[in-house]
Amino acid sequence: GGKPCDRRARDALPIAECEWRTPGVLAEIIAVEHAAALRNGVAFFNTFAAMGGADQMHAWVLAEPKLAYKDHVHLTNVGYQRWADALSSAVLADYARWRRLQGLPSTEPVVPPPVVPSDGALPGAP
């Protein structure tokens, strides 16, 4: 493989001579953030893991529809929507887990059964 791309390499070298890679220090940064969240009793959402892990930002740039811009930093509207969906799903799942641990009832919506008239015919049926 080629060498990692940085701003200087990206500007000076053809794309074939460098590769987009996750910075090696990112795992350590995430670990420090996670530890700080635990220490302070606050929630932590791992965007890196939610996006698929190492070297996935480039895959998001190449995806159709595009999920990230070529700067490999900012997401497109579709990418931010995917990120927001992952974040909200994680928050709701952890909330449901917390409720279970507290012995509280589920927050899942209860869908009532369809109302069947006494003649047995379903509403709208011929």
- 121 part of a folded domain: no
- Mean pLDDT, the chain, integer: 83
- 111 part of a folded domain: no
pLDDT at 74 over 70: yes
Give the CA-trace dihedral at 18, 23, 24, 25, to 10 degrees. 150
- 122 part of a folded domain: no
| pLDDT attached to residue 121 | 57
* Rounded mean pLDDT, 40-51: 94
- 112 part of a folded domain: no
The larger pLDDT score, comparing residue 86 to residue 10, is at 86
* Rounded mean pLDDT, 62-81: 95
- 91 part of a folded domain: yes
pLDDT at 91 over 70: yes
- 38 part of a folded domain: yes
The DSSP code sequence of 53-89 is STTHHHHHHHSSS--B-TTSS-B-HHHHHHHHHHHHH
Task: Please state, in angstroms and rounded to a whole number, the distance separating the CA atoms of residues 32 and 114.
Answer: 51
Bridge partner residues of 75 (DSSP): 68
Residue with tokens 């929630």: 43
Task: Please state, in angstroms and rounded to a whole number, the distance separating the CA atoms of residues 82 and 10.
Answer: 27
pLDDT at 28 over 70: yes
Looking at the 3D structure of the chain, how many domains does it have?
1
- 117 part of a folded domain: no
What domain range includes position 97?
Answer: 3-101
- 107 part of a folded domain: no
